[in-house]
Amino acid sequence: MPEPARLVILVSGGGSNLQAILDACERGELPARVVAVISNRGSAFALERARRADVPAIHFPFAPFRHLPNARRVYDAALAELTAGFQPDLVVLAGWMRLLSMAFLERFPNRVVNLHPAQPGAFPGTHAIERAYEAFRRGEISETGVMVHLVPDKGVDDGPVLAWEPVPIYPDDSLADLEARVHQVEHRLLPATLRRLIVKA
């Protein structure tokens, strides 16, 4: 049996997608092991989920770097060093809310996977679900989606698409309804896409 793939997951929030990955590993559906979870936010519930699963949970805040020259580059290089120490086969951005620069990305070419709660090319950046919801209310779009993609050297919400799925929006949806529907798709699509990457590698 080959060794399970080593995953480092970067998070900033609740970690429901981290949980979906942990659960898929636990059920044997994903031949992988989460070897570390790193968050820029100490209060991220994702860190608690990691601790409950006996996975190293590391808070790595930007604040101590903020006043250094080239703060972003220095932080990203230090984050890359920390991440590389866990020897990941893949680095997964699962609700990671900071743009990563070359100083991080060049350490893991073609190995950084991002989850984006919209269709390819749509609503890059933050609050994508909310922006899709508003665009639907204005009659500009009829559906939204979820995409999983590789992060190229220069951007977070673009790069080769590994998988995507449409998510319908209904006229009487509240924003919370739509968020729940998007997350449901994310929780299935992200582990399934990681599985495909790992099994093919």
The least CB distance from residue 115 to ligand GRF, in Å, is 4
Cβ atoms of 35 and 86 closer than 8 Å: yes
Q: Which is closer to ligand GRF, CB of 185 or CB of 198?
A: 185
Q: Which is closer to ligand GRF, CB of 75 or CB of 164?
A: 164
Q: Which of 150, 143, 180 is nearest to 165 (CA)?
A: 143
The least CB distance from residue 155 to ligand GRF, in Å, is 14
Tell me if residue 116 is catalytic: yes
Residue nearest to ligand GRF (CB): 95
Q: Which residues bind ligand GRF (CB under 6 A)?
A: 11, 13-18, 46, 94-95, 115-117, 186
The least CB distance from residue 146 to ligand GRF, in Å, is 7
Cβ atoms of 9 and 40 closer than 8 Å: no
Q: Which is closer to ligand GRF, CB of 46 or CB of 122?
A: 46
The least CB distance from residue 70 to ligand GRF, in Å, is 26
Q: Which is closer to ligand GRF, CB of 77 or CB of 90?
A: 90
Q: Which of 36, 54, 8, 64 is nearest to 194 (CA)?
A: 8
- Active-site positions? 116
